[in-house]
Structure 1
Amino acid sequence: MSRAFVNEDNQEEAPIIPPRAPLPPGTSNYVTTKGLILLQKERENLLSEIEDIHSIEDGKDKRYKMQLAKGKLALLEERISSSRLLEISDNEKGEVRFGAKVTLLFKKENREQTFQIVGVDEANVKEQKIAFTAPIAKAITGKKINEEAILQLGKEPREMIIKAISYEISES
């Protein structure tokens, strides 16, 4: 068909739907109680956004926004359905596990850092929350207070000592 017969105004560009945080293949989608609540709130917000688009928007912009919101919702629903709430038993609380808030002493820098190990969707460096799939989380999982762990950064090993481990009470 000749380009003379193509109406350029009818050509709509499909929205680019941002991917969710990566989860390595074969890895369970562990979530904290708070993480699961945040996912459910995100779903409520998206459903509300879709309702608003239905009632307010019109035309080409409406179709684009609807495709984007429904695409995000589909990815979110997939993540929620694969989520696995992981609760720690009292006898596991003496070592670093999923959900732990951990204080580390980096020996070389003589600097302490505290963070919590959470699910991939809840991870946020600004809030000092790291994903359980992160190399540092893997290096310290299973360790107890005053045990040493090594994080390999390229050719440089970083020695760390577990200074504190705590578990926050689950939110309902």
Structure 2
Amino acid sequence: MSTVPLTKFGAELLKQELHQLKTRERHAVISAIAEARSHGDLSENAEYDAAKERQSFVEGRIADLEGKLSSAQIIDPATLDAEGRIVFASTVDLDDLETGEKVTYQIVGEDEADLKEKKVSITSPIARALIGKYAGDIIAVQAPAGVREYEVIDVRYI
């Protein structure tokens, strides 16, 4: 099994979700199944079917999270020393050469990616273009609207 890169923060979020599923959701589903069973005939019991479906989802998500965490390579950006090179978990300040707009992204694992929080997946086109570059480099990214060029302004490990 290959390793899954996660930032320290991302691993904590997955651990919190796993804890929530195991301690609260699992018990709530068991209670809902017991309640639905008490209504009698299970063949036409929509509440029972819904509770069993929810149980299947919760157990599947627990297994998924446990698998990801067991194969995770957890990286703390604060401990990185990549000598200014863009690597996984780096926070990068960019200047869009076409619009002059300044943007900041952190390169994270797939489970952590959230564009609203300026976190891009390591597998995204922009992250793949950034990896290995330094401040001052110009990168070209294939976007849906065409090629976009950015200048790397700063690389931080925070």
The answer to whether the superposition gives a TM-score over 0.5 is yes
What amino acid sits opposite 1:53 in the alignment? V
CA contact 1:93–1:166 (8 Å) conserved in 2: no
Residue 64 of structure 1 deviates from its aligned partner by: 2.4
* Aligned: 1:55 with 2:31: yes
Identity %: 28
Instruction: Name structure 1 gaps, 5 residues minimum.
Output: 1-25
CA contact 2:92–2:153 (8 Å) conserved in 1: yes
Match of 1:67 in 2: 56
Match of 2:8 in 1: 33
Which moves more between the two structures, 58-67 or 101-110? 58-67
- In the alignment, the residues of structure 2 paired with residue 27 and residue 125 of structure 1 have an alpha-carbon distance, to the nearest angstrom, of 25
* Aligned: 1:152 with 2:134: no
Between the two proteins, the alignment pairs up a number of residues equal to 143
CA contact 2:80–2:157 (8 Å) conserved in 1: no
Q: CA RMSD in A?
A: 2.1
Residue 66 of structure 1 deviates from its aligned partner by: 1.4
- From 29, 43, 65, the equivalent of 1:76 is 65
Match of 1:100 in 2: 90
Q: TM-score, normalised by structure 1?
A: 0.74
Q: 1:123 to 1:158 in 2, by over 3 A?
A: same
Deviations 1:93-142 (CA, angstroms, capped at 9, x unpaired) = 41111111111111111111111111111110111101111110010111
Q: TM-score, normalised by structure 2?
A: 0.81
- In the alignment, the residues of structure 2 paired with residue 111 and residue 155 of structure 1 have an alpha-carbon distance, to the nearest angstrom, of 16
- In the alignment, the residues of structure 1 paired with residue 111 and residue 56 of structure 2 have an alpha-carbon distance, to the nearest angstrom, of 22
Residue 73 of structure 1 deviates from its aligned partner by: 1.3
1:9-48 equivalences under 5 Å are: 28-47=3-22, 48=24
Instruction: Name structure 2 gaps, 5 residues minimum.
Output: 37-47
Instruction: Say which SS state the counterpart of residue 94 (structure 1) adopts.
Output: coil
Q: 1:154 to 1:126 in 2, by over 3 A?
A: closer
- In the alignment, the residues of structure 1 paired with residue 80 and residue 112 of structure 2 have an alpha-carbon distance, to the nearest angstrom, of 23
* Aligned: 1:143 with 2:118: no
CA contact 2:140–2:150 (8 Å) conserved in 1: yes
Higher helix proportion (structure 1 or 2): 2
Residue 87 of structure 1 deviates from its aligned partner by: 4.3
Match of 2:106 in 1: 116
